[in-house]
Structure formats: C-alpha cells, structure tokens
Amino acid sequence: MRVLATITLLVLPAVAADVIVRRDGPVFRVAGLGTTEPAGGWSAVFQVHVGPQDLPPVMGTYVTEGSEVVFKPRFPVSDTVDCRVVAGGTTIVFPGKASSTEPSAHVRRVFPTAWKIPANQLKFYAEFSAPMEKGQAWERIRLKNSVGETVDLAFLEIEQELWDREGKRLTLLFDPGRIKRGVLPREQTGAALRAGETYTLIIDQEYRDAEGVPMKQGYFKVFQVEPEDRAFIDPAKWEVRIPRAGTRDSLAIAFGESIDGPLAQRLISVEGVAGAVELGAFEALWRFVPEKPWEAKEYKILVDTALEDLAGNRVGRPFDVDVFERITVRTDRRVVTLPFRVPRK
Amino acid sequence: MCVLLGFAALSAALAFAAEGPSLAAGKLELKSAGVLAFGPPGILFVGDTAAASLIAIDTGDRAAKKSNGAFELKAVNEKIAAVLGTSADQIQIADVVVNPVSQNVYLSVSRGKGASAVALILKTDASGKITELGLDNVKHARVSLPDAPAAEAKDRRGGSLRMETITDIGYVDGRVFVAGLSNEEFASSLRSVPYPFKAADKGAGIEIFHGAHGRFETNAPVRTFVPYKVANTPHLLAAYTCTPLVSIPLSELKPGNKVKGKTIAELGNRNRPLDMIVYSKGGQDFILMANSSRGVMKLPTANLDKYEAIVAQTEKQGVPYETIEALKGVQQLDRYGANAALLLQVEGGSVDLRTVALP
C-alpha cells in the first residue's frame, strides 16, 4: 500500500488554484487551505469520500502540520476503492487498484470423510485452506439429491455462522428439527436425508476467501444415506490395540462406527501422556502416537462423554430420547476411563 | 436484542445501583462485535464471540429523548462503508439496538470479513449521522464465559477449534442472559451472568428441558428471547431455531438449575425466528417476531399462562399469530419509543434502517 501511495503521489500531484492535495500512505495532506480552522471545522473545506456522491465522507481526524492540513482516516482507505478528495473547491480522484490476487483457497476436506452416513447425520465440518469471508454460507453451500434437486433448508441457517477462530472451518448443522422425531418441521417436510438415497454436498467455487477472492475450485462430496443411527456410543464395544513397551507404536481404538472427527481429536486422550492423534478409516479409527516410548505399566484412556457419533449420539446417551424423565441425567461433562496395560517386551 | 416491557420500571430502579463499580475506564479491544442489548440506562452489553466474553460498556448516553416518530436511513450498509473508507461488501452489520433512553441507534459492525476484520460499535440517530462509539478510553467491564477455551490455548493436539457463538443476549433485573451454540458438540447454552460483573461469579449454565422434546430442544439453539411477565410472573419467552416458542419462568433460571420450559407455540416449518420485541397497544401486549420466511409475525400475549404445554403435534398450535405482510426482509427489530419499531430491512439488495408504527 505504501508503494501504491508513492506511485499515486508521482502520477497525480494535484494542483488546482493554490490547493495541493497529496496522498501520503494512509493520510491525506492538503496545502493551501491556510492554518486557521474554519468555523464549521476542517471538514467544511476538506473531505475524503469513497463511493457515490451522496454518501457521507470518510470518518477521521484533522490536524495541521506546518502549512498543511492532514486528514487521518479512522481506518486506512481500502486500496481497491476509488477515493475522492474534495478540498478548497477542488476534487481529486485517487483510483483504486483492481484486486489482482489469484484464487488459491479451496476446501481441504469435509468431516465426516465417509461416503456412507446415517439419515440422522447431525453435522458437517467444512475445512478450507484459508480464512474465508463470513456471511455467504447459506448462498454458497447446497445439498442436492440424486436427481439434482436442492434439498430445501437442509441446514440450520444461523446468520452468525459457526466458524472456528481462524475462519477456516465452518460447522454445518443439519436442521435438528428435521432429525428429531415427532416435531413439526419433520412432520411437515420430512427428514432432510432419506435412507437409500444419494446426495451431493456442493460448496460453490464462488465462495470468497477473506481477501474477497473466489476459490480456486468448487467442492463436491457425494454420499449415500443409510438408515438412522439411534444407538449411543458404548466404549465397552471398542477394540483397543495396545502398543509394546519401549516403542512409539500407536495406541489404536477401532470404534466400530464413524465418530465425529473434531470431537474424537479433542475429547479422547491418554492420561498424562503427550502425543499426537490421527484419525483413519473414515474416523472409525483413532490412533495416538506418544512423544516418548511407552513404558510397561498401566495407562488410562480418557473419553469425555460429550463425544458424539455422526448422528449426535453420545457416550451412554442417544441423541433423541422422547421421554422427559429419561433425560434428566445432568449434561455435566463426565469422563469414561478405559484402563490398559502395556506389557513388558 | 431484547427490550423489556414488564420489567422496565424495575430495571430502571436497579440501574443506578448497578452502574459504576465494575466499570473501569480504559481501552476496550473488541475481537468481534455480535449481539447487543441495552441494560441499565446507558449500559450497552456486547457479545464478543471471538473472545468468548460478554462486555458491558458505559456509553454515557443517558439524555432522555421522547420519540420523534419516523426515522429512515436508506442503504445504511453503503453509508457505513463510505464512512469507514471501504466498499459495502466489506461491511457486516451483526445487530442493531435502540438505546431506550436516548432513542439513539447502536450497530455492531465488522469492517472486513476475514480473520483480520475489525469490530466496532457505530451510533446513529434520526439525523442519520453515523459516528463511532470511541473505545480508546471508555468505562467498561468484561466477563469471560465459563467453559470457553482461551483463544490462544491450543491443547497439546493442536485442537482448539471449538468456539461458542453467542446467539442472543438480554438484560433482566440485574442479570444478563446469554444464549450460545457450540461449533463442535451439539450443545446450546443459556447462561445467567449477574451484572455488575463479579470476577468470581462468571455465571453458570442453565439446562432447559422441554416437555417431550428431549435433547433435541434441550440442545437446540435459542435464537432470540425476550423477557416478559406471564400472569404477573417474570418469564423469558425464547424462540428456538427450530420453531417452538417456549416460556421459561425467570425465578427458575438459576445457575446449575435444571429448568423445564413450556412450549407454548409451534410456529410452523420454514419459520426461522430472527428477533423479537414485546410492546403494548390499546391496553394489550403483543410479541412482534421477525423471521426469515414469513415477514413479521404478531402474537397477542394475553393469557400466555393459559396455553397448555405442547408436547407433540403435527400442525400449528398454541398461541395464535397473524403475519404482517407489509414488513418483508426484516433482519433486526427493536423498540423505538412507545409507538414505533426500528427495523433493519433487506429489500432488493438495499439494507435500510427505518421505523414503522407498531402494528
């Protein structure tokens, strides 16, 4: 931006009557207005505008430096917009430069990575390669059925959008009203996903990144829908592969079904052991590689009961329980412990 | 964005006691500016989702003004963009509220749309002039929401992508209620935060169960809520994203409590509630609810306590409503004096702020 300002300065040293306007980095300098502030303030004789004529001027502060009046915008004027300086009856335009950034953003992956998912699938996570612009999800993301019709209101369209802090991962919740049995939206329009059908999740190439540039390519995920999963997660049914002492072999858990990937990464750990988690087999497999070799002793796998499978069923508690009394279990976080012993070599 | 009706007098009385001690002057950095609500006179609450916190700002804006009726600011997004030296596509308006004392309008805005976006609070009034609420040296207080992971704290697996989006806030009688939704586990929360904020008491989660709806509604996000008296007892009327209108007795909304809400209306499919206000007209109280597909709905609030709890249904039930056809594209709604509502309306690509007479 500094470079641009310097060039502008060389190309457009604007001289009209005795008024000289300069764009100097983020600030605008005008000579020839005198040093006595008019009764209406400097803005009465010196304003910076972007956009059409009838819009209010850019917000900022004025100071005098020597013979110049200096306007410092509250925010640096975007270098992609035309900017008009109106000073002492003269108008000078500093043209914005075209955005020349090459598209580079793309969708890295979507959780679940499985291509068979239950009809009561609760959410997708779309991971982008770069921070994305907020506020366009419900225009740029669609779900189509096998004959190419868009599934109406498949996702819960919350205008705040559920992003992570970096703006790289978007959570798409299926409208829970269309998953829960016996409630109005589902009775009226049915479930968003029907078992036996094939669907395509489409993220448009026009999805803009945080720089306003569309993606390099669009994203498609084709998946097949299986019957609803209304069984809770039962860690007692998991298969645990125990590593050997003295190695950094992975500790592995086969869940027997796909689990919510981000939750599996965050909510399953080995007590007191640092290491890295990887997921495999469409998130049906959790692998933990310790930083230091395993010792021949007892360890504990800690499973936060907030862990969910693809349909939002939790540890010991299905997603969808119909009787009030049945769910009076507190949703306080609890941890299920799975002890295991690493044998001697 | 919640405006009190039933509690107005009570809140005002508490307000002066509530001001002051917890608000220290200093620089306020907003990581994001989301939902807004006015509380005690001049005190603006801001939901900062990115910082996982709730902020109280003393705007100093306490000069009472009677409503002067109509107010219109067309293409407010373009005007804000112009003032901030950028193009309209770089501006996002998250919420709009009216200071009930001064009738000044406050907007939470982000300039830029990516991770480098700057959050700010703008102010405007019937003259249409847009100014910034200066945050360099402002009396404010911040409270972190419990269980929210610290922004920088990555766990050892590098997995701190969890965020809780604040979907609405509202002030009632010394407490700020905060509704939120996680981007990972399917869990929504309604928290009660005492104001003035106390460091030790960050407010605790409240679980709300609804008749026969199990976890579905327990964990479905509260999209918008409004405090209101039902049969002279303070309640929150909460609109869930998945259509039911639920009444919750305020006395039971205590940290750690498990509360049973009562579903008093099912507003039908395709109806995504966006914002709600309560008002009085001709001696009767009404709820006005903006929603994504029907324009604005008006519901009478008389005898809310008389409706049976809805436990299962296949069609619209409970509190009757009418649709105000003339009001389309309303995204935000707030009271503007006794007889008008302020709307943020998106119509034909133009984003306008305007007042309308209460229907």
CATH code where residue A315 lies: 2.60.40.1220
Q: Per-residue pLDDT for chain B (359 aa), expressed as one digit of tens each?
A: 433 333 333 333 333 333 444 689 999 999 999 999 999 999 999 999 888 899 999 999 999 876 566 889 999 999 999 999 999 988 999 999 999 999 999 999 999 877 678 999 999 988 889 999 999 999 999 988 765 444 434 444 444 678 778 888 999 888 888 888 888 877 767 777 888 887 544 444 555 554 444 444 455 667 788 888 777 788 888 887 655 677 888 887 766 666 667 777 766 656 678 888 988 888 888 889 888 776 788 888 776 666 655 555 444 456 777 888 778 889 899 999 888 999 999 887 789 999 999 98
Of A83, A185, A274, the CB nearest to B269: A185
State phi, psi for A98 to the nearest 5 degrees: -70, 145
For residue B159, the one-letter residue type is G
At B334-353, the pLDDT tens digits run 999 888 999 999 887 789 99
Place of tokens 């805005």: B109
Domain boundary among A94, A115, A144: A94
The reported pLDDT for the residue numbered A252 is 96
Q: Is A228 on the interface with B (CB under 8 A)?
A: no
Note whether A54 contacts B: Cβ–Cβ < 8 A.
Answer: no
Q: Which of A324, A325, A329, A333 to mutate to test the interface with B (most CBs of B within 10 A)?
A: A324
- Out of A71, A94, A117, pick the residue that ends a domain: A94
User: Which residues in chain B are closer than 8 Å to A57, comparing Cβ atoms?
Assistant: 82-83
Q: Are B165 and A323 in contact (CB < 8 Å)?
A: no
Residues composing chain B: 359
| A287 contact B CB<8A | no
- Look at A212 and B187 and tell me if their CB atoms are within 8 Å: no
- Is residue A203 located within the same domain as residue A313? no
User: Which amino acid is present at B315?
Assistant: E
Q: Which of residues 116-175 of A touch B (CB under 8 A)?
A: 122-123, 131-135, 153, 156-167, 169, 171, 173, 175
- Is there a contact between B83 and A212 if contact means CB atoms under 8 Å apart? no
Element (H, E) at A125: strand A123-128
What local confidence, expressed as pLDDT, does residue A330 receive?
A: 38
Instruction: Give residue B152's pLDDT.
Output: 38
Q: What is the DSSP string of B204-261?
A: EEEEEEEGGGHHHHHSSPEEEEEEEEETTEEEEEEEETTSEEEEEEGGG--TT-EEEE
What are the backbone dihedrals phi and psi of residue B144, each rounded to the nearest 5 degrees, phi first?
Answer: -80, 145
Whether A221 and A281 share a structural domain:
no
Inter-chain CB proximity A266 and B151 less than 8 Å? no
The strands making up A116-118's β-sheet, listed across from edge to edge, are A116-118, A219-226, A198-203, A141-144
The residues, any chain, with a CB within 8 Å of residue A340's CB and separated by 6 or more, are A240, A242, A251, A298, A299, A300, A301
Residues of A in contact with B73 (CB under 8 A): none
Give the gap in angstroms from C-alpha B183 to the nearest C-alpha of chain A.
5
Pairing assessment for the beta strands B244-249 and B233-240 based on DSSP bridges? antiparallel
Q: Measured between CB atoms, which of B78, B214, B272 is closest to A321?
A: B214
Task: Provide the shortest C-alpha distance from residue B214 to chain A (in Å).
Answer: 5
pLDDT for position B98:
95
Q: Are strands B138-144 and B131-132 parallel, antiparallel or unpaired?
A: unpaired
Same domain, A221 and A239: no
Residue whose structure tokens are 């090459």: A102
Chain A residues touching B136 at Cβ < 8 A: none
The confidence score (pLDDT) of residue B270 equals: 62
Query: Which residue of chain B is at minimal alpha-carbon distance from A179?
Result: B216
Q: Domain boundary at A207, A226, A245, which? A: A226
Of residues B85, B132, B183, nearest to A171 (C-beta): B183
DSSP state of B112: S
Which helix (H) or strand (E) is A162 found in, with range? strand A162-163
State the complex-level ipTM: 0.80
Q: A280 and A204, same structural domain? A: no
Closest CA to B30 of B6, B47, B18: B47
Considering only residues 237 to 256 of chain B, which have any Cβ-Cβ distance to chain A shorter than 8 Å?
A: 241-244
Whether residue A152 lies inside any domain: the answer is yes
Residue B62, SS3 per DSSP = coil
| Closest residue of chain B to A187, computed from CA coordinates | B314
Q: Are residues A242 and A220 in the same domain?
A: no
Q: Does B82 touch chain A (CB under 8 A)?
A: yes
Considering the domain architecture, whether residues A266 and A161 belong to the same structural domain is answered as no
Q: Is the dihedral of CA B134, B139, B144, B145 positive or negative?
A: negative
Contacts 24+ apart (CB under 8 A), A272-279: A272/A299, A273/A299, A274/B156, A275/B156, A276/B157, A277/B157, A277/B159, A278/A250
- In this complex, is the C-beta atom of B346 within 8 Å of any C-beta atom belonging to chain A? no
Please check whether residue A277 lies inside any domain of the structure.
yes
CA distance A137 to chain B (A): 13
Q: Are residues A153 and A244 in the same domain?
A: no
DSSP H helical segments within A26-179, as ranges?
Answer: 137-140
Structural domains in chain A (count): 3
pLDDT of residue A53: 78
Of all residues in chain A, the one with the smallest CA distance to B92 is A135
Interface test with A, best of B87, B90, B113 (most A CBs within 10 A): B113
Q: Are residues A140 and A220 in the same domain?
A: yes
SS3 A74: coil
Flag whether residue B282 sits within 8 Å of chain A, measured between CB atoms.
no
Cβ within 8 Å, pair A77-B85: yes
Contact B349/A at CB under 8 A: no
| Chain B nearest CA to A208, separation (Å) | 10
Chain B positions touching A326 (Cβ under 8 A) are: 214
Q: B-contacting residues of A 295-334, CB under 8 Å?
A: 306, 308, 312, 317, 319-324, 326-328, 330-331
Which CATH code of 2.115.10, 2.60.40, 3.30.565, 2.30.30 fits the domain covering B9-21+29-357?
A: 2.115.10
Q: Could you please report the per-residue DSSP string of A165-198?
A: TTS-EEEEEB-GGGTSTTSHHHHHH--SS-TT-E
Best of A162, A184, A325, A331 to substitute, by most chain B Cβ atoms within 10 angstroms, is: A184
CA distance B225 to B222: 7
- Yes or no, beta carbons of A324 and B162 under 8 Å apart: no
Distances (CA, A) of A161 to A125, A142, B30, B355: 12, 15, 19, 28
- If asked whether residues A15 and A112 sit together in one domain, one would say no
B309: contact with A, CB 8 A cutoff: no
CATH (domain of A64): 2.60.40
**To which residue do tokens 């903006």 refer?**
B290
Which residues in chain A come in under a pLDDT of 70?
A: 1-17, 100, 176-190, 317-333
Do the chains contact at A57 and B83, CB–CB below 8 Å? yes
**Partner-chain contact B132 A74, CB within 8 Å:** yes
The whole-angstrom distance between B19's CA and the closest CA on chain A is 30
Among the listed residues B28, B38, B30, the one whose alpha carbon sits nearest the alpha carbon of residue B334? B38
Asked if B108 and B34 touch (Cβ cutoff 8 Å), the reply is: yes
Residues 4-33 of B with CB under 8 A from A: none
Query: Which of B76, B84, B275 to mutate to test binding with chain A, by most A CBs within 10 Å of its CB?
Result: B84
Residues A114 and A18 in one domain: no
Instruction: Determine the pLDDT at residue B2.
Output: 38
What is the per-residue pLDDT for B157?
42
Answer yes or no: do A26 and A75 share one domain: yes
- CB contact, 8 Å: A177 with chain B? yes
Is A180 inside any structural domain?
yes
Residue A195 inside a domain? The answer is yes
Q: What angle do CA A287, A293, A297 make, to 5 degrees?
A: 90
Interchain proximity B268–A160, CB inside 8 Å: no
User: Would you say residue A17 lies in a domain?
Assistant: yes
- Nearest CB among B156, B213, B314 relative to A187 is that of B314
Domain of A288 in residue numbering reads as 235-341
- Asked whether residue A99 is domain-assigned, the answer is no
Whether A55 and A132 share a structural domain: no
Write out pLDDT tens, residues B84-126: 999 998 899 999 999 999 999 999 999 987 767 899 999 998 8
Asked if A85 and A94 count as a contact pair (C-beta separation under 8 A), the reply is yes
Q: How close A260 gets to chain B, by Cα (Å)? A: 9
Question: Distance between CA atoms of B245 and A194, rounded to whole angstroms?
Answer: 28
Smallest Cβ distance to A75: which of B85, B216, B331? B85
pLDDT at residue B318, as a whole number: 65
Residue B156's pLDDT is what?
A: 40
Helix (H) or strand (E) holding B78: helix B76-83
Do B87 and A175 lie within an 8 Å CB cutoff? no
